[in-house]
Amino acid sequence: MAPTPRKRTQRVLAGIAAAGFIAAGLISTPALTPPAHAEKSPTVNMPTFAPDVFYVYVKKGEYLWYNFQGRQPSYVLDGDGNAVNMTTWMGGMASPYAPRDGVYQIGYDPYIDHDNRYASNDQFAWNVQAVDSSNHTILGRVWADKVFIGQRLSFDWDNPATPKPDSVGEVNLVAVSPTGYRYQVNAKEYGGIQSVIAATSSGINKVVTKDGQDYCEPSYQSYDDWAIRDGSGYDAYAPNGIETDTWVKHYRTNYKCGERYKLFFSTPAADIPESILPTPQALGTPTVELKDLGNHKAQAVITGLDKFAAYTFNAAGKETTVQGKTSVTINIDADQAVNWSLKAASSNELHLMMSDVEMLGGLTIKALNGPTAGDATVYWDDTSLTSGRYVENTTVPTSALTGVNSDTATGVHGWNSNNVNPILHREYAVAEKATYGDGRIIDTWARSGEAREWSGSFIPETPSISLVKTVTEKTYGDTDTQLHWTYTATNTGNVPLTNVHIIDDTYDGGYTGTDPDTVNAITKTCDTVQPGDTCTWENIVSPLVDADFPDAGKTVTNTAKTTGVSPAGITVTSDPSSDSSTYVPAKPAISIEKTVDKPEFHSGDKLAWTFTVTNTGDISLHDVAVVEDSYNGNTPLSDVSCPDTTLAVGASMTCTATSDTDDTDIRRGDVTNTAHATGISDGRNRNVESDQSTAKSIGKVTPVTVIPQLPMTGGTGIVVIAGIAIIATLSVAGMTIAYKRRSTENDEN
C-alpha cells in the first residue's frame, strides 16, 4: 500500500524519449543513466503529501523532471518567471536545459478527499527532480513552504485507541530558515487525516498596537482553532478559515510577523548558493537608544534586530517580547535612572506549525548547523487549548516551557487520537472537538544558535530651568526716569537647553511700549545653556511715565518666566519670578531767615537786609526766589539779589537787599520787612514756599548838643542853665508826643 515513486524507464524507452527531445530541439543528447535517488513523496500511508508550489533549484545546463500520479501540475515557471513547455521524457515530463541558474516553480493542487477514503496510499504520489546533463538526480534541490497531507481516517469510534491500518505515516523534512539555520524534523505515527505542516520563525503572534505602532508579540502557545482568521488579533502562517472547496488551500497571504522556512524533502544540496541558503550568522549587536519624552516618559528605540530571533526587552518594570521585526519602539516610564536589558534566547527559532492533526506519536526536531548543532531541545505550551477537549488519555504534558530533549525513539509532544470517549462524553464526539490536535494549530518550537544579552542604563532627561528677576532701584523718586531690571536664568536640569529666552508675563507700570530691550520686548536669546550654567539679561529698561508718579506712593511690579528646549524637544518653563520698585514721593521744603544789619537806625541810615534761604527738603530745588511780603520803610527797598536760583538738598544761600531811612522812618519808630522764599522741586516740578520771616530796625532820634557862649557865675548862671534844660525837655516831650500820634495815625492807615 505504500506509494511507489515513479522510476526511470528502461534504456530502450529512454533512448526513444531522448530522440524525441532531440527532434524537438529541447536538449542535446544526454548519456542516460538511472538516477540513484529522487525527491519524492513519503512511502508510508500518505496518499496526498504535497505543497501547492514545488521550488526546484536548477543550474545552467541541468533540467527539471517530474512525474505526478493522479493529478498533474497546473503550471511550471522557470527561474525568470516564464512558463516552461514540458516534454515527455523517461516516464515523466522534462524541461529544456536551463540557460542559467535559477529556481523553478511547479504549481500543484493537492487533492484532499473530504471523506478521507483514498483508493490507495500512493494515489497521488509524485517525483520531482533536478537532473544534470548526465541524467543523474541532484538531491536536495526541491523544497516547499508548506505541505498538505491527506490520509485515511486514522481511528474508529468503535475502537478509538487503535489506529486503523494504513492510516498513520511518518514525516521527515529538513526545515531551513532564510538565514541558513537547518533543522531535521521527524514526525512519527502521524495521523493528520486532513492537515497542513509549515515552519516559520515566529509561530502564533499577537498583533499589538502600542504607542502608535503595530508590532508582533509571539505568544509561544498553540492556538485553539484550526485557522487564524482576519480580525482575530493574531497572525501566523496558517489557514485563514475559508472552507470553500478544501480548507487547506486557503492560507493567509498577509502573514507579516515572521518568515516562512523552506521545507526540503531531503538534505539540502551543497551547491545551493548563499542567496538561497546562506551560512548561519550569529546575532548582530542591536542598538538601543532611549529618548526622553518628558513628563517622566521615555522611548526605547531598538534597531538592528534579527527578525528570525525573539527578543525580550526589560526596562522600568516593563517586559516586552518582540519577534519578526528589525526595529521596534517601546514607551517606558522614566522618572529616574532606568536599567534596561535586551535578551535573545537564541540566534534562530523554528516553529513547527501543525494544523488539524488528530494523532501524533511524537516529534523530534534537531538543529543541524550553527554553534548549537545537535541540540534537540523543543518547547511547547498548550495551556490555551480550552475549547472542550476531553484529555483523559492524552500522552502529552500541557507545556514544556523549560524545554525537553526530543531525540528519543518515540519523540515528544505526541497525543493519542483517543482523547475523547464518545460513549462517556458524547457532547465532545463531534467534528473539531474530537482529539487533542483536531481543529487546532499545535506549535512546537526549537532554537538554534547562542543566546545573547545586552544591557545598559539610561538617565532620563530631567530638563528644568529657574529664573531670578531683580530691579536695581528698589525705590524710585521724582527725579528717576527709568527702572533697570536683571533676569538670571539657571539651567537646573541635567541636559543642555537651547533657545533660552524671557517671557515677561506682567508689568504693571505705566509703560506700554515695545521698544527693544525694554520689559515688553526682550529680544536677546541664549542659544545653549549647559546644566548648571546661567544666562543673564542686564539693564533691561522700563521707562517711567506720568502714571508712575501719583500723589500717593505706588509699587511697580514686573513678573516674568524663562523657557528653553531640551535635546528631546521638550519645552520647559520656569516658575514666575518678580520684583518690585516702590515710588517714594519727594518732600520738597524751603526756609528763610531774614535779618537787618542795624537793630536801630537814625534818620539817614542805610539798612542792609539779609535773607538766608535753605533747602530743608529731600529734593533739589530750582527757580528759588525771595518774595517780599511787606515793607514799611519810607524809601523803596532795593531788589533782592540772590547768588543762584537752585538749591541742593540741605544747601543755603544768602540773598540781600538795602533801604534808606529818613525822619519819616524816625517818626514811625521802626522799619520792618517781611518776606518768604519759593522754589520748584526737580523732577515732578512741585512748587514749594517757606513761612514768612520778618526783620525790624528801631528808629532813634539824634540828641541836640547846646554849646554855652558866655561864662556864667554865681546864681544867675545856674538859673539860666536850668531854664535851658527845662525848655529842651519840653521840646523832646513835644516831639515824642507828636511822633506817637503820627505813628498811631500810620498804623491806623
- pLDDT at 15 (0 to 100): 32
**Alpha helices, DSSP H only, in 234-356?**
none
Please check whether residues 640 and 708 belong to one and the same domain.
Answer: no
Please check whether residues 596 and 577 belong to one and the same domain.
Answer: no
Over residues 442-453, mean pLDDT: 94
Please check whether residues 607 and 655 belong to one and the same domain.
Answer: yes
- pLDDT at 42 (0 to 100): 74
Cell 527539471 sits on residue: 64
Residue 126: name the closest of 93, 171, 96 by CA. 93
The answer on pLDDT for 122 being more than 50 is yes
Cα separation, 102 vs 106, in Å, equals 13
Please check whether residues 37 and 120 belong to one and the same domain.
Answer: yes
The range of the structural domain enclosing residue 723 comes to 704-749
Confidence of residue 560 (pLDDT cuts 50, 70, 90): very high
Phi-psi region of 241 (alpha: psi -120 to 50; beta: other; left: phi over 0): left
CATH label of the domain that carries residue 1:
2.60.120
Percentages helix, strand, coil for the chain, rounded to the nearest 5?
10, 40, 50
Tens digit of each residue's pLDDT (9 = 90 or more) over 241-263: 988 877 767 888 888 888 999 99
Confidence of residue 26 (pLDDT cuts 50, 70, 90): very low
Domain-embedded: residue 224 = no
Domain-embedded: residue 536 = yes
Which set of grid coordinates corresponds to residue 582? 516702590
3-state secondary structure of 264: strand
Domain-embedded: residue 668 = yes
Please check whether residues 562 and 614 belong to one and the same domain.
Answer: no
Our count of domains for the chain comes to 4
Domain-embedded: residue 494 = yes
Lowest-confidence region among 262-271, 287-296, 488-497: 287-296
- What is the separation, in whole angstroms, between the first and last Cα of the chain? 165
Residue 487: name the closest of 541, 540, 544, 555 by CA. 540
Please check whether residues 2 and 137 belong to one and the same domain.
Answer: yes
Please check whether residues 58 and 72 belong to one and the same domain.
Answer: yes
Please check whether residues 600 and 536 belong to one and the same domain.
Answer: no
Domain-embedded: residue 339 = no
Cα separation, 181 vs 658, in Å, equals 127
Please check whether residues 132 and 21 belong to one and the same domain.
Answer: yes
Indicate the residue among 583, 606, 624 that finishes a domain: 583
Residues 6+ apart with CB under 8 A from 727: none
The pTM of this model reads 0.63
Please check whether residues 603 and 713 belong to one and the same domain.
Answer: no
Please check whether residues 545 and 667 belong to one and the same domain.
Answer: no
Mean pLDDT of the chain: 83
Domain-embedded: residue 320 = no
Residue 638 is which amino acid?
S
Indicate the residue among 551, 567, 583 that finishes a domain: 583
Tens digit of each residue's pLDDT (9 = 90 or more) over 403-415: 999 999 989 988 7
Tens digit of each residue's pLDDT (9 = 90 or more) over 503-536: 877 888 888 888 888 888 888 899 999 999 999 9
- pLDDT at 7 (0 to 100): 25
- pLDDT at 298 (0 to 100): 85
Please check whether residues 31 and 121 belong to one and the same domain.
Answer: yes
Tens digit of each residue's pLDDT (9 = 90 or more) over 533-552: 999 999 999 898 988 888 77
Domain-embedded: residue 171 = no
- pLDDT at 508 (0 to 100): 87
Cell 548648571 sits on residue: 532
Domain-embedded: residue 685 = yes
Cell 544558535 sits on residue: 449
Indicate the residue among 583, 617, 632 that finishes a domain: 583
- Which helix (H) or strand (E) segment holds residue 678: the answer is strand 670-681
The answer on pLDDT for 303 being more than 70 is yes
Strand partners, 197: 147, 354
